Structure 1
Amino acid sequence: MEELTVEEIITATDGKLLSGNLQAKISNITIDSRRVKANDLFIALKGKNQDGHKFISEAISKGAIGAIVTHPPKVNNLLKAKNIILIKVKDTTEALGNIARYYRTKFNPLVIAVTGSNGKTTTKEMIASILERRMKVVKAKDSYNNDIGVPLTVLELNSQTEVLILEMEMNILGGIRRLAQIAKPQIGVVTNIGDTHLEFLGNRENVMREKAELVESLGQNGTCILNADDELVKTIGDKFPMTTKSTFGIENPAEVFAQRIIDLVTEGSHFLLQGKYRVHLSAIGRHNIYNALAAIATALKVGMDFAEIVTGIENFKPLAQRSEIIKVKDLIIINDTYNANPQSMAMALETLSKIITERRICVFGDMLELGDQSQIFHYQLGAQAAKIADLIIAIGKFSPLVMQGALKAGADPQNVSAYEDNEKALTKLIDIIKPKDTILIKGSRKMCLEELVLGIKAYYEKKTN
């Protein structure tokens, strides 16, 4: 981040200066009191579980120059002794966004935003892997894609930045529009549309409307990159005609396409790009070919050539917890524990079905935020898994429904079990694992199924040493 004055921050947030110097300079903004550095400005965000106002003194003690607050903190000896900056605003999360929106206007990078129900982070990383070969890129960390993550990423811009690559994901209508107002993207990528955040959005049509906010925000001079094999994504493209548009796909006609796909199972895939360029993709599964095509279509619109693009894609390394292959001696773990929804579960099962192995074991955690459709989706998951897996272990509130679906589909009752928590499931897994098994582990982020991955690795490595 490049310096902002307190006066600029007051202007951006419509805040009130309670103490401090208007001309003081801020060189960094943070929301985490544990990571404060000297001269940071701390924003006291209020979330579901924590209120940043409780950590203002800690931030100041670590060198923060001041804080943005919704109410003045209690004055203690530390605050008295320091000539700190205090700025009062109506809403600190909104203030963070407003600062980023103002800061964005100071620079003129190419801004690319990626949205969709699945594949956002992988597509973002693939785009970066290509563009970084020629340009100075700032990209979102991990899955920094909401009303906190996007502003923090925008604040990493500097005068040397040529390209900013963002993810955008919210669970309310109007949320992505707000993020686009902050970041002002010129290129928008829509990977796909599925059953995500239904607890808040209600149905897939509203999911489509939420993703469409990115394309709408691009305006007539923007460029959109759309999945030609996803009917709802195509609907978005028809609704918002752009000056520049590109499509990618495998099944339907598209400007960027893959042919002669060779599935290398745990080693990724080969495909022929545009009918002439041979590409090796190390990330497993057909869904990652779609992510690669989205990244390629984006890179072409930026002006990269095919040699750079192929090299960038082939240099891409699969991300942890996202269709990650872990080999422990003769055991294969598909670590897909970062998140889950009905469509990504189906993709994972398709990948698992292609692996030649002694036994296929599915370990499922709950798929969260599915609202009224939670029961039917978990029941269907069990039925789908029964066609592929030799053993099924379900964990969480909805695990009995997964079990019911599997049994109804013909699974052997001895091979299906349900558990309340990870600890009990891990005990079961350790008891049943055999050499040459392949284990798919997948669930929503809050299920923390990476605990199982670590537990299996630790046990199996110790057992085989």
Structure 2
Amino acid sequence: MERLSFEEIVNAIDGKIYINKEIHKYNYLSTDTRKICKDSIFVALKGENFNGNDFIKEASGKGANLCIVDEIKFDTKELNSNTSVILVKDTKKALLDLAQYYRSKLDVKVVGITGSTGKTSTKDLTAAALSSQFKVFKTKGNFNNEIGLPLMVFELDNSYDVAVLEMGMSDLGEIHRLAKVARPDIAIITNVGISHIENLKTRENILKAKMEITDFFTKECVLVLNNENDLLATVCEEKYETARIGFEGKVEYKAEDIEVNENSIKFSVLDGKSREEFYIEVPGRHNILNSLLAIATGRILGIEYDKLKSGIKNLSVTSMRLDIVKCGSYTIIDDCYNASPDSMEAALDVMSTIKGKRKIAVLGTMKELGEESYNAHKDIGKYAAEVGVDELLSIGEYDSAYKEGFNNNKGFKSFDNTKEAGEYLVSNITHEDIILIKASRSMKFEDIVKELKAKNY
């Protein structure tokens, strides 16, 4: 974290000085008292089940030199002699405002990534591709919302050349606020599906929300688009540059000669001037598009193809996302992090490339689909049958939709919870079975993965 003065912080967050001590040294910012260390800034956020303003004494005791609060719920006498306090109207807004100011002090190129699916995979691929020429920071885990993204910005300093920041949303205005903080020089939109359609009602509104990533663009900025997505293919902007990727049509970066293997993809990139072959150790046809987005970003930043190839060899992927695990004689595809129609189809596609005897898909609920929920789950059941799934096991409220789509009563089973499904699998898996485990993160399907890994015969 680069140096910030007490006065800069007060001005950036439009705060009122409540306590001003002499020690104004800040090396770290946290919203969690469990992570407070010496010379920290503590921002007291409120949630449904907690109020950070209740923990000022604890934060001070652990080394916070500055606490930013929107309620006074402490006795001044209980605080460490080094702890200053700034009072604001809203600590969540203060966190965003301070992150925006801090970003303005950094000489770092920012690549912002949003989309209905594929954000994290594209983030991982992009960070790897750029790493051969630049010192790169990337969003950790799923720190991609109005609390997580500012925390990632505060982990930056001017030793980095590029920051690859993931931006998530569930409604209009959220990406706008994130873009105001991050000020991306290059923005990537992976796709526009029906995730969050419960809030936004139409895919056109989802596109509008994703396009907020360009709200603070200058004419020097570049928007990188997946032209295979029907709505992104309609985007037409003259205020800044665009670069499109895809399998066909008028795109700047096209993939041909495609091979999709069990654990890897191989394809050639055509950019109108040259043809370059890439071999990448990630599964799935969808990852060809994610890789093209990363490659296009690297080229925009002036990286030669050879360096992009060497950078991608350093790929480090986020866990629980299409993680193929060999457990003795059977194979688990662990994709427990999230679930949407696009990512469900991508995971089923990957399973179809793996050789084995039986293909078993354990699928849970796809959240935030609103009125589209039943049909979306039904369509995934149908798709599972089309790609050769032998058994479909369902947990959640849309069992009947999966069953109707799968249309195979003998091969369909539903369970009340992950424990029951795990016990069934452990008792019934046989040699060379392929088992896909996928659901929204809140359903904790990783518990099933743990049981299967424990059996491992």
Q: Fold conserved (TM > 0.5)?
A: yes
* Residue 266 of structure 2: aligned partner: 270
* Residue 209 of structure 1: aligned partner: 208
Alignment check: 8 A CA contact 1:379 1:405 kept: yes
Partner Cα distance (2:405, 2:256) in 1: 36
- Higher mean displacement: 90-99 or 127-136: 127-136
Report how far residue 449 of structure 1 moved. 1.0
Partner Cα distance (1:332, 1:11) in 2: 56
* Residue 3 of structure 2: aligned partner: 3
Alignment check: 8 A CA contact 1:280 1:314 kept: no
Q: 1:94-135: CA deviations, max 9, x gaps?
A: 111100111111122111111111111111121111222121
Amino acid at match of 1:207: I
Structure 2 residues not aligned, in runs of 5+: none
Report how far residue 174 of structure 1 moved. 1.4
Q: Percent identity?
A: 36
Q: 1:326-374: CA deviations, max 9, x gaps?
A: 1111211111111010111111112222322100000011111112222
Alignment check: 8 A CA contact 2:132 2:308 kept: no
Partner Cα distance (2:201, 2:450) in 1: 35
- Report whether the alignment pairs 1:40 with 2:37: no
Report how far residue 423 of structure 1 moved. 1.1
Partner Cα distance (2:381, 2:420) in 1: 19
Partner Cα distance (2:216, 2:371) in 1: 30
Report how far residue 77 of structure 1 moved. 6.0
Partner Cα distance (2:168, 2:22) in 1: 35
Alignment check: 8 A CA contact 2:22 2:82 kept: no
Report how far residue 6 of structure 1 moved. 2.0
Pick aligned residue for 2:412 from 416, 429, 446: 416
Report how far residue 72 of structure 1 moved. 0.7
Report how far residue 166 of structure 1 moved. 0.8
The equivalences for 1:44-123 within 5 A come to 44-75=44-75, 78-79=78-79, 82-123=81-122
Report how far residue 284 of structure 1 moved. 0.2
Report how far residue 151 of structure 1 moved. 1.0
Assess, with a 3 A threshold, how the Cα gap between structure 1 residues 89 and 167 changes in structure 2: closer, same or farther: same
Partner Cα distance (2:418, 2:50) in 1: 25
Amino acid at match of 2:15: G
* Residue 241 of structure 2: aligned partner: 244
Structure 1 residues not aligned, in runs of 5+: none
Amino acid at match of 2:259: I
Pick aligned residue for 1:428 from 424, 432, 457: 424
* Residue 405 of structure 1: aligned partner: 405
How many residue pairs were aligned?
453
* Residue 439 of structure 1: aligned partner: 435
* Residue 30 of structure 1: aligned partner: 30
Partner Cα distance (1:244, 1:311) in 2: 27
Alignment check: 8 A CA contact 1:261 1:271 kept: yes
Partner Cα distance (1:95, 1:65) in 2: 17
Report how far residue 136 of structure 1 moved. 1.9
Alignment check: 8 A CA contact 2:149 2:165 kept: yes
- Higher mean displacement: 345-354 or 92-101: 345-354
Partner Cα distance (1:76, 1:26) in 2: 21
The equivalences for 1:10-409 within 5 A come to 10-21=10-21, 24-75=24-75, 78-79=78-79, 82-236=81-235, 238=236, 240-265=237-262, 267-274=263-270, 276-387=275-386, 388-406=388-406, 409=407
Report how far residue 76 of structure 1 moved. 7.5
RMSD of aligned alpha carbons = 1.8
SS of structure 2 residue aligned to 1:340 = coil
SS of structure 1 residue aligned to 2:320 = coil
Alignment check: 8 A CA contact 2:195 2:369 kept: yes
